[in-house]
Amino acid sequence: MSSTEQESKETPVDDMSSQVEEELVRQQLESEEKLRTIGLFGEVNSTKAEEIVYGLYALNATKLKKKPVDYLDFAKGMDETLEPVEFIVSTEGGDACDMFAIYDTVRHLRDEMEIHTFGLGRVMSAGVLLLACGTRGKRKIGKYCRVMLHGVASASAGNISNLKTEVAEIKKMQEMYVSALAEETNLTKAQLKRIMNKNVNVYLSASEAVEYGIADIIV
The reported pLDDT for the residue numbered 63 is 60
The answer to the question of residue 1 being in a domain is no
The answer to the question of residue 20 being in a domain is no
The reported pLDDT for the residue numbered 78 is 47
The domain total for the chain is 1
Residues 6+ apart with CB under 8 A from 95: 44, 45, 46, 49, 126
The answer to the question of residue 182 being in a domain is yes
- What are the tens digits of pLDDT across the range 147-170? 999 987 665 555 666 667 777 788
The reported pLDDT for the residue numbered 90 is 98
Percent of the chain with pLDDT over 70: 70
Phi, psi (deg, nearest 5) at residue 142: -65, 145
pLDDT band at 171 (very low <50, low <70, confident <90, very high): confident
The answer to the question of residue 73 being in a domain is yes
- Identify which of 91, 76, 97, 119 has the alpha carbon closest to the alpha carbon of residue 218: 119
The reported pLDDT for the residue numbered 32 is 47
The answer to the question of residue 8 being in a domain is no
CATH number of the domain bearing residue 171: 3.90.226.10
The answer to the question of residue 123 being in a domain is yes
> What span, in angstroms and rounded, lies between the C-alpha atoms of 56 and 69?
27
Percent of the chain with pLDDT over 90: 58
Of 10-19, 64-73, 153-162, 183-192, the poorest mean pLDDT is in 64-73
Amino acid at 71: Y
Taking residues 39-60, what's their average pLDDT?
95
The reported pLDDT for the residue numbered 37 is 93
> What span, in angstroms and rounded, lies between the C-alpha atoms of 56 and 71?
31
Q: Which domain holds residue 100?
A: 37-218
Residues 6+ apart with CB under 8 A from 56: 38, 85, 87, 105, 106, 109, 115
- What are the tens digits of pLDDT across the range 89-139? 999 999 999 999 999 999 999 998 999 999 999 999 999 999 999 999 999
| pTM listed for this prediction | 0.75
The reported pLDDT for the residue numbered 3 is 47
The answer to the question of residue 10 being in a domain is no
The answer to the question of residue 103 being in a domain is yes
